[in-house]
Structure 1
């Protein structure tokens, strides 16, 4: 997540790397990690799925195309 994930702009990658998750309770570690991703990047436009930057597998692309065609 630190190296390639889309983190919220309020999250500092350097500060996140310094956090020792083993020192936190499980609930606190979960809360910290769940609050890091930028949820706006969970969606990839259909036209961008084949862009290697997004690392969408061919299987996922096929599933999404089939779903989009069924809904049309």
Structure 2
């Protein structure tokens, strides 16, 4: 759950039929989470490249609200 004091328009890279939310890295870094981590995701990079989306250093990020 993302809690924000102001409504913000989410920057995203496109529609995702697999249920994942795809954000730009710059927007992801603006979000406030207690714990944030990311891992390299070659499958995601290849998927985005096949859709003609520039795929340089794409990662999968996970976050949670508490320890």
- TM-score, structure 1 normalization: 0.24
Q: Higher helix proportion, which one?
A: 1
- TM-score, structure 2 normalization: 0.25
Give the greater-gyration-radius structure (CA).
1
